[in-house]
Structure 1
Amino acid sequence: MNPNAMNLDGARLSDTSEREILIERLIDAPRELVFAAWTDAQHIDRWWGPAGFTNSTRHMDVRVGGEWRYTMHGPDGTDYPSLVRYLAVEPPGRLHYLLGDEEMENSFEVTVLFEDRAGKTQLSMRSLFPSKAARDFVVENYRAIQGGNETIDRLEGFLAARAG
């Protein structure tokens, strides 16, 4: 980003690239279906998480101020209780939320965009961490980039199975 870039109000924009992970994919499914797969507990539990993980939703309330409480179960038997707090919900185009553990410690922001591309969905998932060190920690210790891509692979597989 240009360090002198300005927004429409003339304020200087900050470069967040060292604090973010961006995963993008063109998915061969309509955005309404992709959005539904992302916001319905009966669907998301069937594909959410990296390869080898399973998921159990305890509660999902997809609205501004709502929460999604779930546990990801690792292939080694480790459980990862997680909490999403929705900051913006704009069906079928955008979700913005905080993602963290049950106490919301080490939480980070996630923005997911679902853009229509002639009946397909351009999916953009941007995770923004409070610091470069926090981002680097999840990349190095939790394989966050690989895991994010595996999660979207599983979403595509889930959607393909529903279409077929």
Structure 2
Amino acid sequence: MDAGPGGAGLQHQAGAAAVVGGVRYLSRWWAPEGFTTTTRSFEFREGGEWAFAPDGGATRIVIRTVFPTKELRDEAVEKYHAIEGGRQTLSSLAAYVTDPAAEGS
């Protein structure tokens, strides 16, 4: 590359494009600690698109249900199995968000 005026800048841009722009590199550093990135499609150009999904880590969901009385809470737990039903629902959610086939569903 040209070492004249602007030459070092061009070298830096080319080096940055190789590291940042290469999908195999980008997927190694583009994610918070404890996560990785799966790239579905990538166009490294102006106006290009990048379809990706973060992987790993954990999401914690807390659901609170408030009942007006202890008796109504007990009925929901005993008669309708609310706690187990909630666990099953969150398990279904976890399966859904990690299933690539669910995209667009």
TM bucket, shorter chain: 0.3 to 0.5
Pick the structure with more helix per residue: 2
Question: TM-score of the superposition, structure 1-length normalised?
Answer: 0.27
Higher relative strand content: 1
Q: Which is higher, the Rg of structure 1 or of structure 2?
A: 2
- The TM-score, its normalising length taken from structure 2, stands at 0.40
Q: RCO greater where, 1 or 2, for CA within 8 Å and sep 6 or more?
A: 1
